[in-house]
Chains A and B, each alone.
Chain A
Amino acid sequence: MTGRAMRDPQARYRVQRWTALSYTSTAGAVALITALIFVPAVLGTTITQQLTSLLILVILAVMWNALAGYGGLISVGQQAYIGLGAYGAIYLNQQGVPPYLAMVLAALAAGVIALPVSLLVLRLRGGQFAIGTWVVAEVFALLVVLDQSLGGGTGISLTTLDVYSPSDRQAYTYWLTLGCTVLLLAAVFFLLRSRLGASLRAIRDDEDAAASVGVPVMRAKRVLFVLAACGCGAAGALTLANTLFIETQSVFGVQWSAYMIFIVLVGGLGTFEGPILGAIAFYLIQNQFADYGAWYLVGQGATAIAFALFLPRGLWGTVEGRFHLSLLPVGYRLRPAAAEFPPIQGQVKDPAGARHG
């Protein structure tokens, strides 16, 4: 290394966030979202409903990935907030709040409820956190069953949406889902780019080391936990709007966690784009193989195991790692300041690969 670079490393490297590719893909994402707005008008009710289901899966996967991939928090209890979002919307609607407003408020309420819960479960680590969140989900399910006005254990419908015609209703639900997806993706995006995002990744890699250099571990985890609860609450309320009927057993069911884990593992744990890719893959696989019943679920579990063991970065993470692709600028790259100092062979090994995050 040259003397000048030793004295002043910043002259040798510059930090890069945006690349030509990420400009292009961000523009592409904006164009895609704009195009998605017109789906109900162009493609009809059936496809709109299917896309709504897909977007709900995207929300769930992004939220679970935010917890596990960036916070190192493996939750098997996010169904708590899915259920709270759905039943919260029913409850608020029963109190006279218009249905779509009730859904938004219920998602926020799920986040508010997650705050005291986080005081309990964030004391736990690893597997204890995983089952701890699950116990919390069971508690909420049992409490909801006790309330007869919420249908007890038999389920309940959101009847007030009947004032809209089916195609209008589906379009409104879709637009709300699209809005929530974009909002939550943006929230995760900006969270990761913030100082807190760097803290979170430090915690994920080594919690004790992060704490020892002054990273506010608890606060960072709590922000993430509450955001994930809001997102899952929104997904629950939107599932209710999409299917019009919910049942305690299924909306608080641990199968949601199985879906989220599968999607994120296949797509790419700890990558921004992975869960989106995984959700699309999951949706296609489910449509193709769901008829096989239990065998399909056996395959789903086995695939999750295989990805965890053999392809831990998932599909997207593997592609990204190999080709240094990053469609959206959530990380940093160190680039040699090429104009002044052309990289010298053998000194800077794979400069483009020196990417963090």
Chain B
Amino acid sequence: MTSAHGVAVGVAACAKTFPDGTRALEPITLDVARGETLVFLGPSGCGKTTLLRIIAGLEQPDRGGRVLFNGADVTAIPIERRNVGMVFQSYALFPNMTVAENIGYGLKIRGIDRAERAQRVAELVALTGIEGLEQRRIDQLSGGQRQRVALARAVAARPSVLLLDEPLTALDAALRERLRFELDSLLRMLGITTIYVTHDQAEAMALGDRVVVMRKGAIAQVGTPREIYFVPANRFVAEFVGAANLLTARAVNGVLNLTGGKLVTADVNTAGDVVAMVRPESISVVAPEAASLSGQIERISFVGDRQRLTVRGTIERPLLVDAPNTLNLKIGERIGLAIDPHAVRVLPGERP
């Protein structure tokens, strides 16, 4: 738990129902620590953008909801006076201004004089690596360049919070991955409290200090990327954040009885009918005689850096296993499976 002084942004019981009746958000309560990058992750329609816009001041929460900046209630303050920096999905750069004018606009509004503005713009141009583009018009820029201008413009006036709405979604896959690294180092360098919205789990985990996984207007789990990945709170998070094998079985003294053998879990007290999750990369292929679990290979998918196997007979459903790309395996072959007990995550509260 962060202390009150360390909380840059607080959301208290903010729900949102739109005029046409759509329930976009259930009451959400959340704290964002100063300087951290918090990612809202979820499928489309989960409410992540709505929550971002409520924090920004572009939408009002339903009655009873409050937004706090540094402990002060800003719910009634419109976005113009919240001093946030926002990067929109479409970047929303002003076509009637040059790159330099775009970046300097927030400063112009705040009455900063021309000389100081120019200096700050130059700083940001250097920071985002867009030297030489200052006098260009927006339609002369590539997607990656526009993204950088949008970021520079958002942070120029030193906002207290930076809000990014799917900033990489509009770019093609190769560019996205490259820019993800740059964005990450930039955000660390700036040290601003950042809230980032995305539907891409890889992006979320690469950029976030903590990730808020959302579903149907509510929070499914909040945690660090590792927590979310290795210790998902429920089925939805387990499946959304990475490939997952979900198995239902009866546990006796911490050992699960499966079709294809026995699986030992880390907690010896686990008992009864449970739902457990095991990720494909935590299952090793071994000789069938030596293993407590076995199965038969149904399909092999050579992906390049690994082989994804579909194995039958271990559990009721096909089991996904990631094997090293150098192993010589054949369809129909019987293999043994070894799984580290700590890699088995029993999902609490999930009924089989």
A binds B: no
